[in-house]
Structure 1
Amino acid sequence: MIVAGIGSRRGVSAEDVLAALDAALERAALARGDIDLMATPAVKGGEAGISEAAAKLGLPLVLVPQTRMEAASSRTRTRSERVVALLHVPSAAETAALAAAGAQASLLGPRLALGPVTCALARREEAA
């Protein structure tokens, strides 16, 4: 399972979100069809651009509660002081992806920032 974690500034468009997602996918040598779901911090639930991007891709959007974000924060690779001040976690995209993918998930790389959006990809290996 692969989860795309999304972080953003207020008012992002679906196009902004999709551009960041596509850039992260390209870096990881993956395609849109490889993504199982999108995740974002619960406080971003009102961001129409994030919701619209998930809907355009036909993906479920998981709004990750703060407690789950904090529980996943020790597994992140990057740190944004702005995000720490706002959300009390090192990276919105990375922690959302990790939290939604589960305790055994790992990042495919550091978050990618493109304009007002960050995207991180996390993978959870399915049990055989």
Structure 2
Amino acid sequence: MDMSQISEYIRASKDVLDILRSLSALLPKGPDADAAQQRLEQAEKALRASEAQLAQSLGYKLCQCTFPPNPMLSHGYHPRYGDEVFKCPSCGKQIPSEQHFEMYDSVDAHNERAAGNSWADARKGRR
């Protein structure tokens, strides 16, 4: 089974769960309705877990703000460094983080200050 078939299966499973959820509202209240609701919630949780596994197998980064984890979506590339930026649609977490890019800026600033100031230049008295 290839990934597109798995993706279609998950999409169809979601549709079935949506239909079952709408039908569960028609059940009379009682222990049977409660049991059906619990099974429906278990099925939804299993479906979310399978979505996370599919996303991971397709190379998506996963955010661990919830369980099962959420796939992080691409939000383009950093304008200065060109790294692809991924964000979680639920919590907004970003990978690489802004701190990661600030570290790049710090390293760049250090390298600019240190340009031409090597230990060899200092040893030869060129500083």
TM-score, normalised via structure 2 length: 0.24
**Considering only CA atoms, is the larger Rg found in Structure 1 or Structure 2?**
2
Q: Please identify which structure carries the higher strand content.
A: 1
TM-score, normalised via structure 1 length: 0.24
